[in-house]
Chain A
């Protein structure tokens, strides 16, 4: 059974701190790994990673994938209170279903 595990479960930091969120996976026939940010509504797409070692960056957020060790990290630098959310990692596999298998999420709280 495909499995996606995120750590830590939750994290409390102060504004300006840098955080690293982890996602490891065990799936057959990996295609891509996606990161989403979920506040009290729809998961918002952040990144999709398909190749190892290529960093994706958007403002203060960045992410990288290691397909050999089967994990990805999401970095957030100079955190702001608006970064408070649940961060979800999901993996897509090559099959007819095209479904995403999600991890349990990391709940990040950024205090002023």
Chain B
């Protein structure tokens, strides 16, 4: 039973480019969460999605960031016109339901903006 999968594991982008991060939840999980971990900081919630729905995006920056979880395929976190401050580890987690179920994390995508 595969865990949460994320790709790519490492992503390098120049300032102004777009970054696309993918997350496939654990089998049987229909809820996906994205978190960001800035260098030397804790994990911060960004967005919570179910299939085809954004449930809570209160942690997402208002500009340049968007997320989706289509009916088919992985969840995607998209960052447009990246800046150096976007450099961070982006983790995806999944759970089978709203809870109280534990969230299982993927290995993360480390984004470096040069």
Where the two chains meet, the residues of A that have a C-beta atom closer than 8 Å to any C-beta of B are: 31-32, 34, 36, 41-45, 48, 50, 88, 90, 92, 95-105
Contact = CB atoms under 8 A, between A and B. Distances in A.
Interface in B8-57: 31, 33, 35, 41-45, 48, 55-56
Interface residues of B, number: 28
Contacts of A98: 31, 33, 48, 55-56, 95, 98-99
Contacts of B107: 41-42
Q: Which of A43, A44, A98, A103 has the most CB of B within 10 A?
A: A98
A96 B42 contact: no
Contacts of B42: 88, 102-105
Contacts of A44: 105
A71 B1 CA distance: 34
B100 A100 contact: no
A101 B35 CA distance: 10
Given A88-B42, A96-B55, A100-B43, 13 more contacts: A32-B100, A43-B91, A45-B103, A45-B105, A88-B43, A97-B48, A98-B55, A98-B56, A98-B98, A99-B45, A99-B48, A100-B45, A102-B44
Nearest to A31: B100
B46 to A, nearest CB: 9
Contact of B33 (A99, A104, A105): A99
Q: Ordered nearest first, which 3 A-B pairs have the shortest CB separation? A: A97-B56, A99-B45, A42-B105
A91 to B, nearest CB: 11
B108 A41 contact: yes
Contacts of A43: 43, 91, 105
B100 A50 contact: yes
A48 B102 contact: yes
Contacts of B4: 42
A107 to B, nearest CB: 11
